[in-house]
């Protein structure tokens, strides 16, 4: 998935977002991310919805009216790609909405979406296992596939959005350039262990783990390995940051 420029989609997407922020004189934010995704992926618009504790998604950013409309439609009729990313936490990518199989899959949503002017909708979960944070939705008025590189970059945009959102909820601090290191299994094992130690949700446990890694200036995966090996607990005095 590494392209001709020799860097992977994660670093490429980060560089694009940083560049866009610098060029427009703004800090890196969710709205900068959504704009960058729209400009770089050749799509019509980007919509970001955040999962609220009550279980309802809330639209936080929409680069255009159509995106906001699509989000609203799916909530109203209770079906659609952005809802189907759950419970599995995998993307739902629909290059052509106006198609029999898609009409059949979402009989209420599809005709309304097509009527509203959408040709394609790509829903990318911002998720870590069972931790649901939100959905990054890309839409295009024209139907058509994303390129293979575009698919990888879309996932990278969603992962960066996930990281930004978690940072925003955790309070001000620098976003790690290394990304979330979600490929390291001990990070998820440690999250489960901390959740049991503190009797908190996995989301809260993951947030504590990251906060501690940030405070100690240690890589997340390394700190997580200490938790899994039981060299570090979060429920003892001074254990939690």
Partner 1 sequence: MTTGQTPQHSTGRTPDRTEEATIVTDERLLDTFVELADTLTDDFDVIDFLHLLVERCVELLDVEAAGLLLADEHGHLRLMASSNEHVRVLELFQLQNDEGPCLEAFTTGARVSSADLGDAATRWPRFARAATVAGFAAVDALPMRLRSQVIGALNLFHAHAGALPATALRSAQALVDVATIGLLQERAIRHQEVITEQLQTALNSRVVIEQAKGLVAERLGVTTDVAFTTLRAYARGNNQKLGDLARLVIAGHASTRDLLDSGVARPKQAARQRRAPKPE
Q: Interface residues with partner 1 (CB under 8 A)? A: 1-2, 8-10, 87-93, 95, 122, 125, 127-131, 145-148, 151-152, 155-156, 182-185, 188-197, 202, 228-229
Least distance between partner 1 and beta carbon 26 (Å): 27
Q: Which is nearer to partner 1, 112 or 228 (CB)?
A: 228
Q: Which is nearer to partner 1, 142 or 173 (CB)?
A: 142
Per-residue tokens: 101: 């199989």
Q: At what angle do helices 148-170 and 30-41 cross, to 10 degrees?
A: 180
Q: At what angle do helices 148-170 and 9-23 cross, to 10 degrees?
A: 60
Least distance between partner 1 and beta carbon 65 (Å): 25
Q: In which residue are the tokens 């944070």 written?
A: 133
> How long, in residues, is the chain?
241
Asked if residue 113 lies in contact with residue 82, where contact means CB atoms within 8 angstroms, the answer is no
Q: Which is nearer to partner 1, 20 or 188 (CB)?
A: 188
Least distance between partner 1 and beta carbon 25 (Å): 30
Q: Which is nearer to partner 1, 147 or 241 (CB)?
A: 147
Distance (Å, whole) CA 81 – CA 84: 5
Q: Which is nearer to partner 1, 78 or 129 (CB)?
A: 129
Q: Which is nearer to partner 1, 70 or 193 (CB)?
A: 193
Torsion of CA 175, 178, 181, 187, to 10 degrees: -60
Least distance between partner 1 and beta carbon 23 (Å): 26
Distance (Å, whole) CA 238 – CA 228: 18
Least distance between partner 1 and beta carbon 97 (Å): 13
Least distance between partner 1 and beta carbon 91 (Å): 5
Distance (Å, whole) CA 108 – CA 91: 20
Local structure of residue 79 (DSSP, 8 states)? -
Q: Is the dihedral of CA 178, 181, 186, 190 positive or negative?
A: positive
């Amino acid at each position: 998935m590494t392209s001709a420029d020799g860097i992977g989609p994660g670093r490429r997407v980060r560089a694009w977002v940083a560049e866009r922020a610098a060029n427009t004189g703004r800090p890196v934010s969710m709205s900068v991310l959504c704009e960058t995704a729209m400009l770089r992926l050749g799509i019509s618009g980007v919509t970001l919805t955040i999962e609220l504790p009550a279980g309802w998604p809330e639209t936080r950013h929409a680069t255009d009216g159509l995106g906001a409309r699509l989000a609203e439609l799916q909530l109203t009729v209770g079906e659609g790609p952005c809802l189907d990313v759950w419970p599995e936490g995998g993307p739902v990518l629909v290059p052509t909405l106006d198609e029999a199989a898609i009409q059949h899959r979402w009989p209420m949503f599809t005709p309304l979406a097509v009527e509203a002017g959408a040709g394609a909708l790509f829903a990318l979960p911002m998720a870590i296992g069972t931790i649901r944070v939100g959905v990054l939705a890309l839409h295009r008025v024209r139907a058509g596939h994303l390129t293979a590189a575009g698919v990888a970059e879309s996932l990278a945009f969603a992962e960066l959005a996930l990281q930004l959102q978690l940072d925003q909820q955790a309070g001000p601090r620098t976003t790690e350039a290394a990304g979330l290191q979600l490929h390291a299994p001990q990070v998820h094992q440690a999250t489960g262990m901390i959740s049991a130690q503190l009797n908190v949700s996995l989301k809260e446990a993951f947030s504590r783990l990251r906060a501690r890694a940030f405070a100690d200036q240690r890589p997340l995966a390394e700190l997580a390995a200490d938790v899994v090996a039981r060299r570090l607990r979060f429920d003892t005095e001074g254990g939690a940051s």
